[in-house]
Amino acid sequence: MITRIRVALLLIVSALVGTFAQSQQGGDQFLDGIGETGLVARYLFGANAEDTSRNQFHAELRGAGAEFVDDTQFRRVLLLTGSGSHVQLPGRTLQNEDTLSITGWIYLPTGASGPIFDFGQNAANHFAASASRAGLKTVVVTGGTVRGEAASAALAENQWSDFAVVLDPASKSLTLYVGGARAGRAENVAATAADIVSKTAAANRLFLGRSQDDNAPTIHARLRDVRVYRIALTDQQATTIHQNALAASPQAGNRGRGAAPVISTANIPKDSPLATKLAQVPDVTVQTTVGTLPHMPREVRAIYRNNVKGPDVRVIWPSPKDTTSVAKPGTYTIVGKIAGTSFAPKATVIVKAATGKEVAPDRLAESFPLSQVTLDRDASGRDTPFIRNRDKFIKGLAASNPDNFLYNFRDAFGQPQPAGAEQLEGWDNQTTRLRGHASGHYLSAIAQAYASTSYDPALREIFLKKMNYLIDTLYDLSQKSGKPEKAAGGPSVADPLSVPPGAGREGYDSNLRAGAIRTDYWNWGAGFISAYPPDQFIMLEKGATYGTRDTQIWAPYYTLHKILAGLLDSYEVAGNKKALEIARGMGTWAYTRLKALPPETLASMWGRYIAGEYGGMNEVMARLYRLTGDKTYLACAKLFDNTAFFFGSPNHDGGLEKNVDTVRGKHANQHIPQITGALEEFRNTKEMPYYDIATNFWEIVNGSYMYSIGGVAGARQPNNAECFPAEPDTLWENGFATGGQNETCATYNLLKLDRQLFMYDQTAKYMDHYEQALYNHILASVAEDNAGNTYHVPLNPGARKSFGNADMSGFTCCNGTALESNTKLQDSIYFRSADNRTLYVNMFIASTLTWADRNITVQQIANFPYADTTKLVIKNAGQFDLKVRVPAWAVRGFFVKVNGRDQTVNATAGSYVSVGKTWRANDTIELRMPFGFYLDPLMDQPNVASIFYGPVLLAAEEAAARTDWRTVTLDATDISKSITGDPATLRFTIDGVAFKPFYETYGRNSVYLNVVRK
């Protein structure tokens, strides 16, 4: 018996090892230690030419003779016969890239030679590698000129060899690897992928096994595991990829240790400029209650030598991973550090016994409907940056074809496509398991566009029609689920718990290929709606992980959240009752399945990387309860509570509720929407843990993980740009990942959280972050002349933003949220108190508010931020307290004039000031808040900082990519003495370098600088 158990255990262990190795092969989070945001495409060539990365850039076999054959080393491989057969990648595969690395395995028979890959448009613009007996050669050509060439010895014949070719614009190099080791290199290579590849997909010719020359011979070779990366592989990564391919169980490469810094840190001093000026950093005392970690002050007032005044200093306090230090009443001491100095302030923590219940705050402020706030031109009659971005999206949405966004839904339900319908690309193509996510964002965007275009009835009509058409179609599909195919009757399964596998299938799977996707909607349970069959939801329950194998899934509840949010947005904006009906049906379907699962299964699901990513399902279900009064939806919302992240454990002994930083290393956009969800749960339950989770999360993220653009993530450790760094207060040590720092959708979600917290607590800090991220990430994330927008915004020196999806045809997560962000840019300019007695002015953006409840119109006339003033005109007489945000950066005063007369106001930066309560028609309030230049340094490297002017992050314009941090020298006592320029255009010169707003930057730039004070 014992032996038998042992055998069983061994089997389980070996099964797990097998799963790990397989997931490494399946396009996982860390393939060979490299975060998947670095991977553009991966062709295993075991059985087909599919891209096994999540981007699904499936290739095609072209010409006669290509086939998959048995192979002693790799089992099955692709054979190209040299008689014209080759592989072609989709033209859009490399469209948004700058840096490229190509790796793969190749087997050359005796005497074989020819092209291995050739990516470009023609012989005058391409990046290629070829093999011959003379050697392995790579070349980059732009405009007909060879920009770089590297070569190595010939590859051995009749055996497998692996190659890697790295085109790195930052180091201006072209490097060739064979067998994981450097084999050739060219320097001073002035070319990027963007120079080679056209923005027009059809113009790109991306080949494996043939060249741009239509008449040149193709290669006779075997190919296996060809990968395209958007990062410059390091020597170590090239070696790891080589070794892992040969190892029985692959190593995760440098996953555990974190990658080396991308940009040289050699010239950055370690000492803080404050080190020699500080005299003392006083100790502090903080209080907390038993079980909850103290809220430590991030900044402490310091004493400077010679009684000079100086800034508060940033203290990095220890951040325990559990609550044992506060388990009992008493007092203890912790020691903080100040980066770049030897100061070590102490904090005395007094732990008191918990006294009574916390009082749940009321929601005392509300936003205005989008239709009541309109963006205006600026005081000089120019379109503001907000109007410009809004109109790029309004134009694209008005011209969009809703049938494209319904394509995958109709496909899943086996319905015919109307004429002109085209399937979306990107993460909505035929085989991506996230299909339908863009349609959800699109529903929200159309609803918001409808609400936001109150200035143009013709546009509104267009959006209303689209909305109704979308909802009508989705409604009809949802009504089919779980009912017989034919009106006359037939088999069907109405119970969501009884959904069988597809006919002829062994079990549930995520095979969505054309011709293979199951379309037996009558078996899917009543109310089901998605752009794929129910399998992924069921597979998640049964333990499926994230990946691109048919046994793996992406994130079914994430996609569903987008769809349900889009439906509820349509209902709330336009009262579309069918939209609510669809949401109810699917809400019930989800609840029926989830309530049948034990808590441990749910915890395992929501704890699973990306597979268990559920967006804001807790939010949308709590909202559905609020809109319908049906308590089952609130119960459903709670089933999404991420126990470990929220509460530490089922005993509520840690987690965010107890101010424990469970953010460390987490996938940012997987977790931020869970927090807005917690706040919506609070709204509907008044249960304080949900509120504490939201406020503690906000403090932790804003204090310890925030970059200057107002975004987060970009971890180098763990080596995944989508994740928060592994430890708090370590952006320098663990942040600034290769290729990506701040995912734009994560910032979209942070802004939602700011707004919703402000409704409970009218503290300026929430809207200070909103302004920071609105100007410096959301506004900065859109292309200059079209609706193209960013996925990850890179913040390394000399980086440039990459804008995709200008034609709204192929969506990443961030392309999806961009539709929403840019149709609600006005959503937080004004708020009102719940009792309609107070008006809050939060953003200084030219706009008009129609406060319908009070029959009052307020116009804001401004050139802000191209001037440091704004004017409010109150069009109708009325009594209300007008409260204006005094931004945290407004430390040079905040001046108020009412009807031209100076007012004495007690305005403190980072607070609200009341400027009056009784208004006559056409009263004017002029606000002036002199901008100043200031630095926003990294908490753990005070010499690396961003420069702001008022709310505007300034970026150094760069002519080329960089391998080091740009150094600027600034006056040690007053940095503005080192800066010249024109505030009216926000163009400045610092240390001989041109700076402009990051949101107006479309070329290479540096937003973080090595700041030398002289």
Q: Which stretch binds Zn ion (CB under 5 A): 429-437, 441-449, 589-597, 809-817?
A: 809-817
Give the separation between CA 685 and CA 620, rounded to whole angstroms.
14
Query: Which CB sits closer to Zn ion, 37 or 204?
Result: 37
Query: Which CB sits closer to Zn ion, 791 or 999?
Result: 791
Query: Which CB sits closer to Zn ion, 814 or 915?
Result: 814
Six-digit token string for 810: 């192929």
**Interface with Zn ion, residue 751, by CB under 5 A:** no
Using alpha carbons only, give the angle 985, 986, 991 rounded to the nearest 5 degrees: 125
Q: Which of 776, 798, 468 is nearest to 790 (CA)?
A: 776
Six-digit token string for 829: 């300019």
Query: Which CB sits closer to Zn ion, 370 or 814?
Result: 814
Contact string (CB under 5 A) for Zn ion, positions 215-254, x = contact: ----------------------------------------
DSSP string, 261-290: PSSB-TT--SS-TTTTTEEE---EEEEEET
**Interface with Zn ion, residue 750, by CB under 5 A:** no
Residue 742 CB, nearest approach to Zn ion (Å): 10
Tokens 């509720």, residue located? 657
**Interface with Zn ion, residue 743, by CB under 5 A:** yes
Residue 816 CB, nearest approach to Zn ion (Å): 8
Query: Which CB sits closer to Zn ion, 440 or 878?
Result: 440
Q: Which stretch binds Zn ion (CB under 5 A): 29-37, 616-624, 671-679, 738-746?
A: 738-746
Query: Which CB sits closer to Zn ion, 93 or 805?
Result: 805
Residue 921 CB, nearest approach to Zn ion (Å): 46
Q: How many residues bind Zn ion (CB under 5 A)?
A: 4
Residue 492 CB, nearest approach to Zn ion (Å): 38
**Interface with Zn ion, residue 713, by CB under 5 A:** no
Say how far residue 693 (Cα) sits from the centre of its chain: 21
Residue 511 CB, nearest approach to Zn ion (Å): 26
Contact 40, 232 (CB under 8 A): no
Q: Which of 118, 86, 85 is nearest to 102 (CA)?
A: 118
Residue 292 CB, nearest approach to Zn ion (Å): 32
Binding to Zn ion (CB under 5 A): which residues in 142-201?
Answer: none
For 10, residues 6+ apart whose C-beta sits below 8 A from its C-beta are: none
Q: Which stretch binds Zn ion (CB under 5 A): 121-129, 306-314, 351-359, 743-751?
A: 743-751
Q: Count Cβ atoms within 10 A of the Cβ of residue 305 and give its class: 0-12 exposed, 13-18 middle, 19 or more buried.
A: exposed
**Interface with Zn ion, residue 722, by CB under 5 A:** no
Query: Which CB sits closer to Zn ion, 31 or 745?
Result: 745
Query: Which CB sits closer to Zn ion, 673 or 887?
Result: 673
Q: Which stretch binds Zn ion (CB under 5 A): 335-343, 741-749, 843-851, 882-890?
A: 741-749
N-to-C CA span, the chain = 78
Residue 295 CB, nearest approach to Zn ion (Å): 30
What type of residue is 805? Answer: N
Q: Which stretch binds Zn ion (CB under 5 A): 433-441, 806-814, 872-880, 1005-1013?
A: 806-814
Residue 265 CB, nearest approach to Zn ion (Å): 28
Give the separation between CA 837 and CA 832, rounded to whole angstroms.
7
Query: Which CB sits closer to Zn ion, 211 or 822?
Result: 822
Residue 615 CB, nearest approach to Zn ion (Å): 11
Contact string (CB under 5 A) for Zn ion, positions 377-416, x = contact: ----------------------------------------
Q: Which stretch binds Zn ion (CB under 5 A): 169-177, 807-815, 889-897, 903-911?
A: 807-815
Six-digit token string for 578: 């069918």
Buried b (16+ CB within 10 A) or exposed e, 261-275: bbbebeebeeebbbb
Give the separation between CA 775 and CA 209, rounded to whole angstroms.
46
Residue 41 CB, nearest approach to Zn ion (Å): 18
SS (H, E, C) 783-822: CCCCCCEECEECCCCCECCCEECCCCCEECHHHHHHHHHC
Cis peptide before 865 (omega within 30 of 0): yes
**Interface with Zn ion, residue 778, by CB under 5 A:** no
Query: Which CB sits closer to Zn ion, 351 or 813?
Result: 813
Query: Which CB sits closer to Zn ion, 23 or 781?
Result: 781
Q: Which of 81, 107, 105 is nearest to 224 (CA)?
A: 105
Contact 725, 316 (CB under 8 A): no
Please tell me whether residue 119 adopts helix, strand or coil conformation.
strand
Query: Which CB sits closer to Zn ion, 427 or 851?
Result: 427
Residue 669 CB, nearest approach to Zn ion (Å): 5
Query: Which CB sits closer to Zn ion, 347 or 813?
Result: 813
Q: Which stretch binds Zn ion (CB under 5 A): 143-151, 735-743, 781-789, 931-939?
A: 735-743
Q: Count Cβ atoms within 10 A of the Cβ of residue 709 and give its class: 0-12 exposed, 13-18 middle, 19 or more buried.
A: buried
**Interface with Zn ion, residue 540, by CB under 5 A:** no
Six-digit token string for 269: 């001093």
Q: Cα separations (Å) of 1 from 7, 15, 602? A: 10, 21, 33
Ordered alpha helix ranges (H), 85-169: none
Give the separation between CA 716 and CA 616, rounded to whole angstroms.
26
**Interface with Zn ion, residue 820, by CB under 5 A:** no
Contact 870, 851 (CB under 8 A): no
Residue 746 CB, nearest approach to Zn ion (Å): 7
Cis peptide before 718 (omega within 30 of 0): yes
Tokens 């961009």, residue located? 818
Residue 748 CB, nearest approach to Zn ion (Å): 8
Residue 925 CB, nearest approach to Zn ion (Å): 39
Using alpha carbons only, give the angle 461, 467, 470 rounded to the nearest 5 degrees: 140
**Interface with Zn ion, residue 36, by CB under 5 A:** no
Buried b (16+ CB within 10 A) or exposed e, 366-389: ebbebbbbbbbebbeeeebbbbeb
**Interface with Zn ion, residue 882, by CB under 5 A:** no
Buried b (16+ CB within 10 A) or exposed e, 767-805: bbbbbbbbbbbbbbbbbeeebbbbbbbbbbbbbbbbbbb
Query: Which CB sits closer to Zn ion, 313 or 563?
Result: 563
**Interface with Zn ion, residue 141, by CB under 5 A:** no
Residue 817 CB, nearest approach to Zn ion (Å): 7
Give the separation between CA 298 and CA 891, rounded to whole angstroms.
19
Tokens 């809400």, residue located? 587
Query: Which CB sits closer to Zn ion, 281 or 706?
Result: 706
Query: Which CB sits closer to Zn ion, 137 or 437?
Result: 437
Q: Which stretch binds Zn ion (CB under 5 A): 6-14, 64-72, 607-615, 814-822?
A: 814-822
**Interface with Zn ion, residue 813, by CB under 5 A:** yes
Query: Which CB sits closer to Zn ion, 621 or 713?
Result: 713
**Interface with Zn ion, residue 745, by CB under 5 A:** yes
Q: Which stretch binds Zn ion (CB under 5 A): 225-233, 649-657, 808-816, 998-1006?
A: 808-816
- Single residue of 108, 164, 814, 956 touching Zn ion by CB under 5 A: 814
Residue 792 CB, nearest approach to Zn ion (Å): 8
Residue 619 CB, nearest approach to Zn ion (Å): 17
Residue 722 CB, nearest approach to Zn ion (Å): 8
Query: Which CB sits closer to Zn ion, 669 or 823?
Result: 669
Contact 552, 546 (CB under 8 A): yes
- Contact positions vs Zn ion (CB under 5 A): 743, 745, 813-814
